[in-house]
Amino acid sequence: MIRYWLVGTVALVMLATGCAASPGATSKTVLAAAPEPTKEVRNLLLPYDHYQLSVNEIYLIESAKDLLTRDCMRKQGYDWEVIGDRKQYPDLRNRRRYAVIEMPVATEMGYKSNARLLGSTEVTAQKMDREARMSPAARKAATDPTDGCYKLAGDELARGNAENEDLVSRLNFESLEEARKSSRVAPALRSWVQCMADKGHKYKDFYAAAEDPRWATAKEPSDTEKETAEADVTCKQQAGLVKVLTETETSIQEREIREHKAYFERLASAKERHLAAARAVIDRG
């Protein structure tokens, strides 16, 4: 069963790295749009977020990798297009943590998702276009997974700055599960279930609604899917479900940060060293 907090992590990686484009790709890639984030989503941040990279921090590192890759490629006789303006974006990594929570998203997309929900796709599109314009030899020199310039650039920036993120990733999943099953959240969840039932939608929880097999059969959301998602958002709002989930998860994560204090201190230090290494490269130009 897919849990929506993981979608944020995957999308952040996709936004940062882009996708491989075919040599015949057009020079102007256009990726799917999504409704602008609501204030609620912009403010939906949790304690663990401080210890993992945001989109803007990933873009900072990507800017430094571009510069290092350019220098490496020049030594091999190739050009490397440095992507210029990586704008600043709100941190939307938790936008789908509790499935759909915004009415504009429910109305337009139902329970469907795309990378644009988590941040800008402009940089991803530029990276896809850049790769499409490269010769096969230049592309291999840049993107070879063993010794390509882009990989080597990433290795250089991360050298001595890495900390195993398996624990925080596991705790991130567990805090959501613990909150969802907690006595503090139970009344709001029961209220959501009853609200949905009153509207003709019988689900045990909001994940069951989001993962209804009917939604997977069509690429575009049906009227039924969108109506169900709209009811879902309305019932979450009436039950105060997102608020109590966020408050409960915050308490759980703060507890775990205290219990694993040394680990989280190492994680924060490794992250800052990684960002500092990127800033140093950018400052050198």
Lowest mean pLDDT among 113-117, 118-122, 232-236, 247-251: 118-122
Burial 58-91 (b: 16+ CB within 10 A, else e): bbbbbbbbbbbbbebbeeeebebbebeebeebbb
39-79 per-position pLDDT tens digit = 999 999 999 999 999 989 999 999 999 999 999 999 999 99
Q: What is the band of 139 on the pLDDT scale with cuts at 50, 70, 90?
A: very high
Which residue in this structure is represented by tokens 């909001």? 206
Given a contact cutoff of 8 angstroms between Cβ atoms, the answer to whether 97 and 173 are in contact is no
- For residue 223, the SS3 value is helix
Mean pLDDT of 88-94: 89
| Phi, psi dihedrals of residue 166, rounded to the nearest 5° | -60, -40
What's the pTM value of the predicted model, to 2 decimals?
0.85
pLDDT of residue 22: 39
Across the chain, mean pLDDT equals 89
Which residue in this structure is represented by tokens 């309305």? 234
What percentage of the chain has pLDDT greater than the value 90? 76
d(CA 246, CA 7): 17
What percentage of the chain has pLDDT greater than the value 70? 90
Structure tokens at 170: 């596991």
The ranges assigned to domains in the chain are: 4-284
Predicted confidence (pLDDT) at residue 130 exceeds the cutoff of 90: yes
Mean pLDDT of 122-127: 84
More confident position, 126 or 107? 107
* C-alpha dihedral, 94 to 99 to 105 to 108, nearest 10°: 150
pLDDT of residue 4: 45
Largest Cα–Cα separation, the chain: 67
| Residue 142: exposure state from Cβ atoms within 10 A (0-12, 13-18, ≥19) | buried
- For residue 99, the SS3 value is strand
- For residue 34, the SS3 value is coil
**Alpha helices, DSSP H only, in the chain?**
4-17, 39-42, 55-75, 103-109, 122-133, 136-143, 149-158, 166-180, 186-198, 206-210, 223-239, 241-259, 261-284
